[in-house]
Amino acid sequence: MTDDTTLAEESVGTASDEDGPERPVEAADSEELDRLVAEHDFVLAEFYTKGCALCQAIEPVLGNVARATDATVVTVNPGEDLDLVDRFDVRSVPTLLLFEDGDLVDRMAEG
């Protein structure tokens, strides 16, 4: 029998789920984003900032993408790791980046 913590963790999903977690994963920094991109075939990364109304508005959509596809959905605040801003040329938020097999294949910036 497992304890409540283990059951809760299993229902949320983790970044190491084989087909991607069932909900978006928060990446704390560029190292964590790099690890997730390397571990998963498809990664959709949303670059957001706190207080961004458009970012908040698309959160339910990102949750649906995480549940409905094999893509790992990652959210990352580039203000907490400014290297990400330069590296991925983030000029506005939200910015969405799609990675396939570790390579950046598409981007959308609507902020």
Going by DSSP bridges, is the β-strand pair 95-100/42-47 parallel, antiparallel, or unpaired? antiparallel
Q: Which of 15, 52, 58, 98 is the catalytic position?
A: 52
Tell me the C-alpha distance between 39 and 23, whole Å. Answer: 16
Q: Which of 33, 37, 43, 55 is the catalytic position?
A: 55
| Annotation says 52 is catalytic | yes
Name 46's Cβ contacts closer than 8 Å, sequence gap at least 6.
24, 55, 58, 62, 73, 74, 75, 76, 94, 95, 96
Which are the catalytic amino acids? Answer: 52, 55
